[in-house]
């Protein structure tokens, strides 16, 4: 299995992948996730007047900040120069959820999947933090890579 996993050497020891010989290309990743909550909590979140301020704005900023710090949080991630990070939060009233999407872009030798996923995870955690006084039964789920573009492994899109 060590031969199949890029972050393990031949002896099974963790390592940072050497991307020095890879070509510099445009890279983009889109990730998503959601925070499910009661209808009452969702209404409060959408009103934008929680005790801590706008839930959406705080979570979007937190997600962007997290993407920029991914290499500090995930031990074997490369420090990369992000050219763009966007985080968007939309309501799905039928599902009783706030849907979070994050898009990360760079021109470099390694992908930005982890940055997009980290942005989504931290945005979801921020939503939870801001609303937990109203609804401790909230559930964070479905954090997933939706799409990636660029790099030697080619493009990927969730079905």
Instruction: Tell me whether residue 8 is in a domain.
Output: no
Instruction: Tell me whether residue 135 is in a domain.
Output: yes
> Domain of 72: which CATH number?
3.30.70.640
Q: What is the pLDDT along the chain (159 residues), one digit of tens a residue?
A: 345 777 778 888 887 787 877 888 999 999 999 999 999 999 999 998 777 789 999 999 999 999 999 999 999 999 999 999 999 999 999 999 999 999 999 999 999 999 999 999 999 999 999 999 999 999 999 999 999 999 888 899 998
Instruction: Tell me whether residue 18 is in a domain.
Output: no
> What separation in angstroms does the CA of 131 have from each of 63, 95, 119, 125?
16, 17, 18, 10
The residues carrying an active-site annotation are 129
CB 81 within 8 A of CB 108: yes
User: In this structure, which long-range contacts are made by residues 41-46, counting pairs with CB atoms below 8 Å and at least 24 apart in sequence?
Assistant: 41/131, 41/134, 41/135, 41/138, 42/91, 42/93, 42/96, 42/97, 42/98, 44/131, 44/134, 45/91, 45/98, 45/127, 45/130, 45/131, 46/91
Label residue 53 left, alpha or beta by phi (over 0 means left) and psi (-120 to 50 means alpha). Answer: left
Specify the number of domains making up the chain.
1
Instruction: Tell me whether residue 11 is in a domain.
Output: no
Instruction: Tell me whether residue 12 is in a domain.
Output: no
> What separation in angstroms does the CA of 83 have from each of 27, 62, 68, 86, 140?
10, 17, 10, 10, 28
Instruction: Tell me whether residue 6 is in a domain.
Output: no
CB 122 within 8 A of CB 132: no
The pLDDT tens digits of the residues spanning 97-134 come to 999 999 999 999 999 999 999 999 999 999 999 999 99
Domain that holds residue 97: 25-150
């Amino acid at each position: 299995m060590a031969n199949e996993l890029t972050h393990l050497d031949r002896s099974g020891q963790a390592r940072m992948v050497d991307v020095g010989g890879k070509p510099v290309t445009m890279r983009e990743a889109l990730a998503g996730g959601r925070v499910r909550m009661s209808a009452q909590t969702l209404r409060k979140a959408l009103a934008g007047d929680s005790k801590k301020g706008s839930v959406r704005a705080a979570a979007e900023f937190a997600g962007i900040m997290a993407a920029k710090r991914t290499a500090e949080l995930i031990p074997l991630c490369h420090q990369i120069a992000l050219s763009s990070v966007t985080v968007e939060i939309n309501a799905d009233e039928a599902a009783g959820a706030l849907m979070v999407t994050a898009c990360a872009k760079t021109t470099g030798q390694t992908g930005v999947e982890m940055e997009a996923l980290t942005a989504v995870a931290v945005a979801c955690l921020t939503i939870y933090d801001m609303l937990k006084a109203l609804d401790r039964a909230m559930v964070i789920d479905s954090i997933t890579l939706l799409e990636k573009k660029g790099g030697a492994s080619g493009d990927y899109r969730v079905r």
